[in-house]
């Protein structure tokens, strides 16, 4: 059965917005405040009863900016969400959502394999500063998830594809558990835009670090929250909203730049995916310990295949386990400094290849035991495969570097 939802088409439908002079791109609204035409209108505008569509106007840029709004609308459309909102970073999007739902004594149940910053937020920052406790579970162990949810958590949190272990979360099964306990399922879809559509599987909130694939150029830090209109309104509430009051606002110029990247996100994702599959297949034939969900040997290959939108492949990330951190460093050094294969840098989704050793970088917030539990070996190298250069030449570079390790 083919899926009815087409995220690329949905986003194209939502983009349409002429620029001020009929430009094919929207204009950038660079004003932080907006003119109230007569003073008597101010009270109603301030109370949110007289917006631009009701004969009033926009109020203030932290609350609402039309350029940021269009960007949010595009990403929301891609996820099939009612509403979306741009934030200053992916992490601020995550923090705002969790604070809104759980701040002051609430509980989170979360996957134990997370982006390092999110892990530190949940493990250290939120208990210390906001009295929010998180129970970490193996997100693939549905019984353990259900057991943990019995503590009254109001958020179940996961990434679609765990970082850096690339295991797949069964979103529809998790949504069922979350809803049974009256909780929200919050999903970080940063690794798999277009590939997975978590809201179609029952997720309540989808978060993106737009810093990664959505940007594609490693030039902006940004995030997006996709959810119901009512939850966005809650986040934007003048008295109680986390976005409104903590203020992680997206800059309209960033929103504009991202709006020019999203139309070719589909083309980029297909290319990242096909190159990652090519490279992972070659590496496996070459006897390397490679993990990529597109390989039939991957433990979640069937699950990934069942829930993905078929056109976009299996994503741009794979890992090679070099066993020791010394060999991992040697491989990365050769690839960067001898072969010009890519860059030793954290982050992902760039048009060139980025590689890092999670144990020493993005997952270093986790203790050695926690890393071990999450399956992060000290020699694990994560690759975010770029889309530049000839793929055959890239494979030659990789092969030569491995032969010297
Ligand atoms: C990078 C990243 C984040 C944090 O996003 P920022 O834009 O850097 O704040 C969150 N989740 C995942 C999966 C990421 O890769």
Q: Tens of pLDDT along the chain (405 residues)? A: 455 799 999 998 887 778 888 899 999 999 999 988 888 988 888 877 888 888 888 889 998 899 999 999 999 999 999 999 999 999 999 999 999 999 889 999 999 989 989 999 999 999 999 999 999 999 999 999 999 999 999 999 999 998 888 999 999 999 999 999 999 999 999 999 999 999 999 999 999 999 999 999 999 999 999 999 999 999 999 899 999 999 999 999 999 999 999 999 999 999 999 999 999 999 999 999 999 999 999 999 999 999 999 999 999 999 999 999 999 999 999 999 999 999 999 999 999 999 999 877 766 767 778 777 777 888 999 999 999 999 999 999 999 999 999
Strand order of the β-sheet with 155-159 is 83-87, 223-227, 205-209, 184-188, 155-159, 107-111, 133-137
pTM for this model (two decimals): 0.95
Atom number, ligand 1, closest to the C-alpha of residue 222: 7
On the question of a cis peptide bond just before residue 164, with omega within 30 degrees of 0, the verdict is yes
Ligand 1 pocket residue status of 114, Cβ below 6 Å: no
Longest dimension (CA), the chain: 76
Burial 223-237 (b: 16+ CB within 10 A, else e): bbbbbeeebbebbbe
Ligand 1 pocket residue status of 218, Cβ below 6 Å: no
pLDDT for the residue 1: 45
CATH number of 7-263: 3.40.640.10
pLDDT for the residue 245: 96
Ligand 1 pocket residue status of 211, Cβ below 6 Å: yes
CA-closest residue to ligand 1 atom 2 = 209
pLDDT for the residue 362: 67
Distance from the alpha carbon of residue 191 to the mean position of ligand 1, in angstroms? 9
Number of Cα atoms under 13 Å in the Cβ half of residue 336: 13
pLDDT for the residue 137: 96
Atom number, ligand 1, closest to the C-alpha of residue 93: 9
CATH architecture of 264-403: Alpha-Beta Complex (3.90)
Three-state secondary-structure class, residue 289: coil
Mutational test site, ligand 1, from 91, 222, 345, 362, max ligand atoms within 8 Å of CB: 91
Distance from the alpha carbon of residue 1 to the mean position of ligand 1, in angstroms? 33
Domain ranges in the chain are 7-263, 264-403
Distance from the alpha carbon of residue 354 to the mean position of ligand 1, in angstroms? 15
């Amino acid at each position: 059965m083919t899926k009815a939802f087409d995220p690329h088409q949905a986003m194209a439908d939502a983009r349409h917005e002429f620029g001020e002079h009929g430009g094919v791109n929207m204009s950038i609204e660079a004003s932080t405040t907006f003119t109230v035409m007569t003073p008597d209108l101010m009270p109603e505008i301030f109370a949110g009863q007289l917006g631009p569509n009701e004969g009033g106007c926009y109020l203030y840029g932290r609350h609402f900016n039309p350029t940021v709004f269009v960007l949010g609308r595009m990403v929301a459309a891609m996820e099939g969400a009612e509403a979306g909102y741009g934030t200053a970073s992916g992490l601020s999007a995550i923090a705002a959502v969790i604070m809104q739902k759980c701040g002051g004594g609430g509980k989170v149940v979360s996957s134990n394999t997370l982006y390092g910053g999110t892990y530190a937020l949940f493990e250290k920052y939120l208990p210390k500063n906001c009295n929010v406790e998180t129970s970490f579970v193996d997100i693939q162990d549905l019984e353990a998830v259900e057991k943990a949810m019995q503590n009254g958590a109001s958020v179940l949190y996961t990434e679609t594809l765990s970082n850096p272990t690339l295991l797949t979360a069964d979103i529809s099964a998790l949504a069922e558990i979350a809803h049974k306990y009256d909780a929200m399922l919050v999903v970080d879809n940063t690794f798999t835009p277009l590939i997975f559509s978590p809201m179609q599987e029952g997720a309540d909130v989808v978060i993106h670090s737009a810093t990664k694939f959505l940007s594609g150029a490693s030039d902006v830090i940004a995030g997006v929250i996709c959810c119901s209109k009512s939850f966005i309104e809650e986040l934007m509430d003048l008295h109680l909203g986390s976005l409104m009051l903590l203020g992680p606002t997206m800059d309209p110029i960033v929103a504009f730049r991202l709006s020019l990247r999203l139309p070719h996100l589909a083309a980029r994702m297909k290319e990242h995916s096909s190159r990652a599959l090519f490279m992972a297949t070659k590496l496996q034939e070459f006897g390397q310990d490679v993990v990529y969900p597109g390989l039939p040997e991957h433990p979640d290959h069937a699950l990934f295949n069942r829930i993905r939108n078929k056109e976009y492949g299996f994503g741009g990330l794979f890992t090679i386990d070099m066993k020791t951190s010394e060999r991992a460093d040697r491989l990365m050094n050769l690839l960067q400094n001898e072969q010009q294969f890519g860059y030793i840098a954290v982050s992902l989704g760039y048009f060139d290849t980025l590689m890092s050793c999670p144990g020493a970088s993005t997952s270093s917030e986790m203790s050695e035991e926690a890393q071990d539990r999450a399956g992060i070996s000290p020699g694990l190298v994560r690759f975010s495969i770029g889309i530049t250069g000839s793929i055959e030449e890239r494979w030659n570079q990789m092969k030569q570097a491995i032969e010297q390790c």
